[in-house]
Amino acid sequence: MKCLLIASESAEVLFHWTDLEYQRNIQEQYGASQEEGEELPAFEDILSTLFAPIIISYSTMEDSYTSFTTDNNHIYVLHQFDECLYIAVNGDGEEKEDDLRRKMYVMKKMIEVMFGMVTLSGTLLRKELRPQDTEQRIRLWKHLQNLIETYSHLRENDQSFLVEAVERLIHPMLCEQCIEFLERRLVQQLNSSVERAGEEVLHAFILVHTKLLAFYSSRNASILTTSDLLALIIMAQNMYPSNVDLDDQSPEVTSMAEDSLHALEISPPDPSTPRRVFLDISLKDGLYPMMPHSMYCLPLWPGITLVLLTKIPTSAVALSVYKYLEDFDKLEKRLREGQGSSAAARSPLNMQDVRCKLDKFVKALGPSELQVLEFKNRAFAKNGPGFNKDLIPWCKKMKTQLCGIYRQCFLIDSTDFPQRLSPGLQEGAQAMMQEKLMDWKDFLLVKSKRNITMVSYPRNFPGLVHFICVDRSSGQMIAPSLSITERTTSELGKGPVARFIKSKVWGLVRTTRRYLQKGYSTVTLRDGDFYFCYFLWFENESGYKLDSVDIPVLPDDSPPIGTLACDYYKLLRYYSKNHKGETVKCYELLTVHLGVIPTEIILQHCRQLASKLWEPSRNPLL
C-alpha cells in the first residue's frame, strides 16, 4: 500500500508511482462512486480526482500541511518543492513518516540529476515531467517508477543506502591495482582517443553490486559528491539489476525486478547511448550545481559494472546559464525587497556588468535563442521604468528563458546528435577492464556479500552483535555484512534471527536520526535483549577530537538526515568549525550489543571501534 504522487498546484498529476495494492485500493474507492458498467478512467485521472481536495486545500492554508495519519495507520506526508506538491502515502506500516519524507526528497534528487536546471523553472519542469505525448510520458514515468523501486529496495536491504554512505570493498591490494589500472591505462587511453567526440572522462569507478571496488578521478575533475555518487549507483543498479540479487530476493522483490526488466523491453535503450546526468561541481570560484555530464554504464559481468563520467564539450554553457540565473535571482530578490533608491542605485551598476556579459553570451549562442531585448529596454532605457517592482515578471521571464536554453542544450540534443564516446571505444574499455578482473570476478562477487565478516568479533569484542561506522567527510561506511538471504549466510545465520537483527539495526538508524534532528549526538538504548549505542563526533585533520558543539534543532518537516537528498553532515561540519579554513571530519558509530554485557565493557568496545576502524593497519576486522 504505497504511493508517491507529484502534482501541480492545479491538481494535475505530474508523476505517480503506486504499488499494485494501492492502485487496486484507489480503483475500488473510485469504482464505488461510479455507476455500474461505466469504464474506469485512466489511473492518473482517478488519482487527480481523489487527491484534488487535498491539493487545493494545501494551497489554501497559510501554514501548510506536512502530514496526516489515520486510525488504521495510513500515513500521508506532503511537501512542496517550488511549484510541485509531493504526496507520499503508506498504508501497510512498512514505512514511517521519515521514510516517506526521505523518499520524496530522493525522488526530487533523482529528478534534478535527470533534468538539471530545468527543475528551476516550474513551467518547464511541468512540461518535462508530463510530456504531451502519451507514449513518451509512459516511458518517462516508467523509468522514474523503476528508479523509486530500485531506491526503495536498496534502502530496505543495503546498509550503505540505509546510512547513505558508500561502502568500499575491503581489499586494499586489489583496490590499489584497479585504481592504478583506471588511471594509467583506461582513462588515459580513452582521453587520448580521437573517437571520444570531444568528451573527457573525469571519473571512472567499478561497482560490485552497490559496493565500490575502485574509484578514480582525473586531475582536473572536481570532487564527486557522496550525494551524486549514491544517485549514480541507484541509476546503475536500475540499469543492471544484478542477477545475483534476483536469486537472493524474496518472491515479491523478484517480481518487482522482473517488472523493471519488463519495462526495459518497452523501451530498449541503446546500451552505448550515455545517460545525461547533472552533477554538482566545485570550481575555484564556487559551487556549481547541476552541471551536465554523460554517464556510461558498462556491464562487465552480472553484478560488476564499470561506470564512466565524462565532461561534455558544451558544458561551459551550463556554467554561464547558472551564473545568469543567479544574477537574475539576486536582482529579483532585491526588487522584491524594494529597498528603494539606495538598492536601485547599486543594482544598475552590477547590472551593467551583467548586461555586457549577457550580450556576449547571446551573441555566442546565436540569434533567436534568448530574447533579452525587451528586458534590456525596460531595465536600461533612459526613460524606461528602470529597476523597480514592475521588472520582477521580466526577471522571471528571463530565468525561464535561461532554463529553456539549458534544456535545449543538454536535454534534447543527445538524440539528434549522438554526442558520445564511440561504441567501439566503449567496447574497448569494457574489454580492457574485463581482462584485468577476469581472475577476480568470482572472488569479488562473493566478497561483496561478505565484505567484513564477524569472525573476529567473539574474541576481541565479546557480546558485540553488529556495528556500523561512517566517515561523513569521505561519505564512506564500514559494517559487517548483514545478509539475510537464503543463499548466503552471515555469522548471524539466516532466517528469523538475522531478520530480527536487521530490523533492529534499521530501526536504530531511524531512531538515532530522530534524536540527531533534535540535537542529540549521543544515544544509548536498552531495548529488549540488546543494548544500542550511537555516537557522533568531530575530529580535525590530524585526528584531534574536537569538543562537541550544539547541533541545530530542526523542525519535524526539515529535509531528512542523510546525504543522498541533502547533505546534512556538511551542515554539521560547518557548525563545528572553530575557525575558517579548518577541515573538520565527522564520524558516526552505531553498535548493537547483547544486553547482558556490562555497560562499561560496551563503552570500551565502542571506544576501540571508534579509534581503530579507520586505520587499516590497526583495523582488527580486516
527 binds other proteins (CB under 8 A): yes
| CA gap 268, 153 in Å, rounded | 23
Nine cell digits for residue 362: 547571446
| Grid cell 543594482 in the structure block, residue | 347
CB–CB of 213/184 below 8 Å? no
Residue 63 binds to other proteins (criterion: CB under 8 A): yes
- Which of 479, 486, 539 is closest to 508 using CA atoms? 479
Using the minimum distance from each CB to other proteins, give the nearer residue, 285 or 600. Answer: 600
CB contact at 8 A, 238 and 147: yes
What residue spans of 116-250 are helical by DSSP H? 122-129, 134-157, 159-163, 172-180, 188-191, 226-239, 243-248
Cβ distance to other proteins smaller for residue 28 or 133: 28
411/426 Cα distance (integer angstroms): 22
Residue 454 near other proteins by CB under 8 A:
no
Is the Cβ of residue 440 or residue 520 nearer to other proteins in the bound state?
520
User: Taking CB under 8 A as the rule, does residue 91 contact other proteins?
Assistant: yes
Please select the residue that binds other proteins; options are 184, 336, 389, 526, rule is CB under 8 A.
526
Contacts with 432 (C-beta within 8 Å, 6 or more apart), sequence order: 185, 186, 189
Which parts of 561-590 interact with other proteins (CB under 8 A)?
A: 589
Q: Does 27 participate in binding other proteins (rule CB under 8 A)?
A: no
Pick 76 or 569: Cβ nearer other proteins:
76
Q: Does 603 contact other proteins by CB under 8 A?
A: yes
Of 160, 451, 521, 563, the one binding other proteins by CB under 8 A: 521
- Say how many CA atoms lie within 13 Å of 277 toward its Cβ: 27
Please tell me the distance from the alpha carbon of residue 617 to that of residue 622, in angstroms, as a whole number. 9
Residues in contact with other proteins, counted by CB under 8 A, come to a total of 64
* Residue 34 binding other proteins, by CB under 8 A: no
CA distance 597 to 126: 56
Contact status: 604 vs other proteins (CB under 8 A):
yes
Q: Does 49 bind other proteins (CB under 8 A)?
A: no
Q: Which is nearer to other proteins, 385 or 543 (CB)?
A: 543
3-state DSSP call for residue 490?
strand
**10 Å Cβ neighbour count for 534?**
23
- Confirm or reject binding of residue 67 to other proteins (CB under 8 A): yes
DSSP letter string, 147-166: HHHHHHHHHHH-HHHHHT-E
Contact status: 520 vs other proteins (CB under 8 A) = yes
69 contacts other proteins (rule: CB under 8 A):
yes
Classify residue 209 as left (phi > 0), alpha (psi -120 to 50) or beta.
Answer: left
List the one residue from 555, 579, 580, 617 that touches other proteins (CB under 8 A): 555
Q: Which is nearer to other proteins, 362 or 546 (CB)?
A: 546
Q: How far is the CB of 282 from other proteins (least distance, A)?
A: 28
Q: Reduced to 3 states, what is the DSSP secondary structure of residue 371? A: coil
Of 278, 288, 387, 535, which one interacts with other proteins (CB under 8 A)? 535
Locate 298 and state its grid cell: 558498462
> Minimum CB separation from other proteins for residue 524, in Å?
5
Burial class (CB in 10 A: 0-12, 13-18, 19+), 163: buried
First to last CA, the chain: 42
Q: Does residue number 76 form part of the binding site for other proteins (CB under 8 A)?
A: yes
All cell numbers assigned to 381: 532605457
Q: Does 542 bind other proteins (CB under 8 A)?
A: no
Q: Which is nearer to other proteins, 106 or 516 (CB)?
A: 516
Shortest separation between residue 413's beta carbon and other proteins, angstroms: 41
Q: Which is nearer to other proteins, 43 or 65 (CB)?
A: 65
Quick one: 280 or 588, whose CB is closer to other proteins?
588
378 or 612: whose CB is closer to other proteins? 612
Nearest one of 246, 165, 237, 94 to 470, comparing CA atoms: 165
Name the phi and psi angles at 281, rounded to 5: -130, 155
Any contact of residue 506 with other proteins (CB under 8 A)? no
What are the CA-CA distances from residue 89 to residues 3, 94, 478 (Å)? 5, 11, 32
- List beta partners, residue 470: 477, 588
Segment near other proteins (CB under 8 A), from 167-175, 207-215, 378-386, 595-603? 595-603
Q: Is 74 in the site for other proteins (CB under 8 A)?
A: yes
> Please, which residue, 248 or 588, has the CB nearer to other proteins?
588
- 68 interacts with other proteins by CB under 8 A: yes
Residue 72 within binding range of other proteins, rule CB under 8 A: yes
Q: Report in angstroms how near the CB of residue 98 gets to other proteins at its nearest.
A: 12
Assess 596 for contact with other proteins (CB under 8 A): no
| In the complex, least distance from residue 620 CB atom to other proteins, rounded to whole angstroms | 16
Q: Min. distance of Cβ 51 from other proteins in angstroms?
A: 8
| Beta strands 476-478 and 166-167, pairing class | parallel
Which residue among 546, 554, 566, 571 contacts other proteins (CB under 8 A)? Answer: 546
- Residue 51 in contact with other proteins, rule: CB under 8 A: yes
Q: Pick from 138, 121, 118, 110: which is nearest to 15 by CA?
A: 138
d(CA 234, CA 240): 10
Distance, in Å, from the CA atom of 198 to the CA atom of 313, rounded to the nearest integer, reads 6
Report in angstroms how near the CB of residue 15 gets to other proteins at its nearest.
18
Name the site residues for other proteins (rule: CB under 8 A).
Answer: 26, 29, 50-51, 53-54, 57-58, 60-61, 63-72, 74, 76, 89, 91, 507, 511, 514-515, 518-528, 533, 535-538, 545-551, 555-557, 589, 599-600, 603-604, 606-607, 609-611
